[in-house]
Amino acid sequence: MGDEEHPPRLAPEVAQPSVDSGGRSLELPTSGETEPLVLSRGNLFCVTNHRGDIAPAGARDLGLFCDDTRHLSYLELFVAGGPPVVLSAGTHGAANSQVDLTLTDSQFGGFLTDPQNFLHIRRKQLLDGELVEQIVVTNHLRRAVDLWLELRMAADFADVFEVRGARRKRRGTLKPPQHAGDQLIFMYQGLDGETYRTVVRMWPEPKRVGPTGPFWELRLEPGEATVLEVIVQPARGVPRELVAVPFDVRLQRLRSAHDQFISSTTVVSCNNVSFQDALSHDLQDLDALQLKVDGKHAILGAGIPWFAAPFGRDSILTSLEMLSVAPHLAVDTLRTLAALQGLKFDSWREEEPGKIIHELRRGEMVRTGEIPHARYFGSIDSTPLWLMLLGETHRWLGDRALLEELRPNAEAALAWIQRRLVEGQGFVRYQRTHEKGLENQGWKDSRDGVSFPDGTIAQAPIALVEVQGYVVGALSAMGQVLAALGDDERAAELERQALALKQQLHEAFWVPETEYYALALDGAGRQVPTITSNPGHLLFSGAILDDKASRVVDVLLSEEVYSGYGVRTLARGQAVYNPLSYHNGSVWPHDNALCALGAARYGRGDGALRILEGLYHASRHFRRHRLPELFCGLGRADGDFLVHYPVSCSPQAWASGAFFLLLQAVLGLRADATTGVLHVCNPRLPDFMDKLDLCGLRVGAAHVSLHFKRANGRCHVDVLDQAGPLKVRIDLG
């Protein structure tokens, strides 16, 4: 093989994943990759390094996953004369990537004084029910060349909770790989009695296939290219037959499916190319994060890599963010979560009648009962947020049939809230029921997510300030639902209860010393006066007294809280502040979007505009302008570059929806489908764009297209066209 005087180097020995069939936990390294290549499509996702590899073997932040199981824990390309140099790497859409590599002819006997990049290797990977890799090798020398190429792989079948760090007392049995011809099968017998398989097929048939993968020998004439394809299928039980479908056909199928999704959304276009790219990529990510539950219900998964599963809170808030663009996502979310709603008291799952689920997992550890997440209800806010989503969806769609369909679920959710208000002495509180449950059950659910300013962790049962706001919003939303269904008496009573709770919230949580709301009340009833972003959610839920709203916005935009890139989760200057932490000083895009919408609704559109501008500048520091789950809270004044958070999920559903809600906020959009009115209240455009169009915006059965233009310090609005009965009321303030 190769030039006799300069033989190509052989592939080095590579440590295989630390998999012990005897039962011990996995020992997993990390890749150190700061911006991996992430592919997502439905229940399948894949994370590789910038070379397109899953390496080092077993790296906890990489792999091919399906239904919470890692079906490929190692994938690495070796080639004669390598390792090749990376020329470029990136993703095209959310479900396919491309990596370009090269070798120099000095490695194949050329002149060292003038090395030439002669061998081009293009790796394309996509998800289409399985992972498909196409490798195109092209010889640009003016002579023939002999070389070999090897693709090494392994599967540890780790549960996603193992990958995240859970230590198991026992594991199942990893079977010896089966290999012959053009096929390789990895197998694992789980403790749940299930047989997990990773089936690999290759075209053309390699020179040989071993237990670690295929090995090809190639001879390329001058200018010749050869194409290799590999399909990796995750399977439980009996795998389906793998059919050879051309890579380009699969790619076109993905694009057609995405085009169909886009055709169902409001078209948002503006004259800022970077922001337009961000919006396009966000829609690609949200399309790719759609999951099927039980084969019939659809819902958005939370994010990649750790949260590729249905999450009540995440799905609800993302659906709220997308109501002006893709309202069908909200309908899917409402129905799916209604189907999963709690029916009984179960302390292991923290299930209660009427409660909306927190998390649904499908891996081995939940199937064996090692953790409660098969259907886990450990969130205090999913239930009121579900009712808020139902009310807001009705504002946009006016679908009475949907309300009638979901009324039993809404009544059950309301009963859960009323019961919790009684048990919590006027507030909805949380306390986990066993040691494997979440300690904190609001959106800041890390162990130190609810702390006093000095870092002392608040003790349960805890009443979070934003949760009480969600309850106010839920009571009001349920009142609107009942009014739409003709039950005016109960609707009025719920509205009175919402107003009373709003006043009670203010009296219990307002801190005179800071002139701001406390983060929480601890188990002893003490205020937790830490300055956080949580009270900003009171603006979003309409649960704040009018004379205090502007003060809350001012705090959110103060130098201590606003980083220049966005609102921090916790104010700088307190002992517990850490801009590199998960919840105590970082910036979360969805948190910012909710605060911005609330600020605009209370007449502080300037605050919404400033938050949008900060997050736009942040997005320019990320590949594809994709806002991640969170980033570090160091300010723009601290350096020229935004600081990334090391293990932030990206794409993350509610981060992908943030810009759309921010646009709704600054444009002042508020729908009332029951009366056939779209309100456009004091619209504004940020400094980084002059024009924006919304085409096909849906309100009830009507669609409307609007043009926004900034000129002479004001934002002008024109109705371009309209279909269906709708009044557009524009208030320029």
User: What confidence category does residue 181 fall into, taking pLDDT thresholds of 50, 70 and 90?
Assistant: confident
Q: Are residues 456 and 564 in the same domain?
A: yes
Q: Are residues 389 and 524 in the same domain?
A: yes
Find the mean pLDDT for residues 60-75: 95
CA distance linking residue 470 with residue 302, whole number of Å: 20
Residue 730 lies in a domain: no
CA distance linking residue 45 with residue 62, whole number of Å: 10
Query: In the numeric block, which tokens belong to residue 99?
Result: 């990596």
Amino acid type, 167: R
Among 606, 632, 667, the domain-final residue is 667
In 3D space, the residue among 525, 586, 589, 530 whose CA is nearest the CA of residue 555 turns out to be 530
List, edge to edge, every strand of the sheet that includes 290-293. Answer: 290-293, 297-303, 307-310
pLDDT number for residue 24: 58
Residue 727 lies in a domain: no
Residue 547 lies in a domain: yes
Rounded to two decimals, the pTM is: 0.92
**Range from 115-129, 163-177, 558-572 that averages highest in pLDDT:** 558-572
Q: Are residues 235 and 353 in the same domain?
A: no
Q: Are residues 225 and 288 in the same domain?
A: no
CA distance linking residue 673 with residue 694, whole number of Å: 18
pLDDT number for residue 5: 35
Residue 96 lies in a domain: yes
Structurally, the chain folds into a number of domains equal to 2
Find the mean pLDDT for residues 82-90: 90
DSSP state, 637? G
User: What confidence category does residue 95 fall into, taking pLDDT thresholds of 50, 70 and 90?
Assistant: confident
Q: Are residues 485 and 624 in the same domain?
A: yes
The b/e string for 342-355 (b: 16+ C-beta within 10 A; e otherwise) is beeeeeebbbbebb
Tens digit of each residue's pLDDT (9 = 90 or more) over 491-522: 999 999 999 999 999 999 999 999 999 999 99
Find the mean pLDDT for residues 464-484: 98
User: What confidence category does residue 238 fall into, taking pLDDT thresholds of 50, 70 and 90?
Assistant: confident
pLDDT number for residue 732: 84
Which percentage of the chain shows pLDDT scores above 70? 94
| pLDDT higher than threshold 80 for residue 88 | yes
Among 246, 278, 311, the domain-final residue is 246
CA distance linking residue 687 with residue 528, whole number of Å: 38
User: What confidence category does residue 289 fall into, taking pLDDT thresholds of 50, 70 and 90?
Assistant: very high
Residue 639 lies in a domain: yes
| pLDDT higher than threshold 50 for residue 421 | yes
pLDDT number for residue 36: 87
pLDDT number for residue 14: 46
Find the mean pLDDT for residues 689-718: 95
CA-angle at 584, arms to 445 and 657, nearest 5°: 65
- Give the chain's mean pLDDT: 92
Q: Give the residue with greater pLDDT, 43 vs 66.
A: 66
CA distance linking residue 150 with residue 277, whole number of Å: 37
Residue 268 lies in a domain: yes
Q: Are residues 221 and 278 in the same domain?
A: no
Find the mean pLDDT for residues 444-455: 94
Q: Are residues 202 and 62 in the same domain?
A: yes
Among 218, 246, 274, the domain-final residue is 246
User: What confidence category does residue 640 fall into, taking pLDDT thresholds of 50, 70 and 90?
Assistant: low
Residue 651 lies in a domain: yes
Tens digit of each residue's pLDDT (9 = 90 or more) over 334-381: 999 999 999 999 999 999 999 999 999 999 999 999 999 989 999 999
476 lies in which domain range? Answer: 264-667
| Whether 649 contacts 304, CB under 8 Å | yes
Q: Give the residue with greater pLDDT, 630 vs 712.
A: 630
Q: Are residues 382 and 508 in the same domain?
A: yes
Tens digit of each residue's pLDDT (9 = 90 or more) over 1-26: 333 333 344 454 544 444 444 455 67
pLDDT number for residue 25: 63
pLDDT number for residue 110: 62
Contacts of 643 (CB under 8 A, 6+ apart): 579, 580, 631, 632, 634
Lowest mean pLDDT among 151-155, 399-403, 635-639: 635-639
CA distance linking residue 435 with residue 647, whole number of Å: 25
> Residue 540 sits in a domain of what CATH number?
1.50.10.10
pLDDT number for residue 368: 93
Contacts of 322 (CB under 8 A, 6+ apart): 286, 329, 330, 657, 660, 661
pLDDT number for residue 97: 93
CA distance linking residue 397 with residue 570, whole number of Å: 36
Q: Are residues 222 and 361 in the same domain?
A: no
Q: Give the residue with greater pLDDT, 636 vs 154.
A: 154
pLDDT number for residue 585: 95
> Residue 215 sits in a domain of what CATH number?
2.70.98.40
Q: Are residues 475 and 622 in the same domain?
A: yes
Q: Are residues 235 and 276 in the same domain?
A: no
Residue 476 lies in a domain: yes
pLDDT number for residue 639: 60
CA distance linking residue 206 with residue 216, whole number of Å: 5
Lowest mean pLDDT among 179-183, 392-396, 693-697: 179-183
CA distance linking residue 660 with residue 323, whole number of Å: 9
Q: Are residues 62 and 177 in the same domain?
A: yes
| pLDDT higher than threshold 70 for residue 586 | yes
Query: In the numeric block, which tokens belong to residue 367?
Result: 């199937």
Task: Give residue 495's region: left, alpha or beta (phi > 0; psi -120 to 50).
Answer: alpha
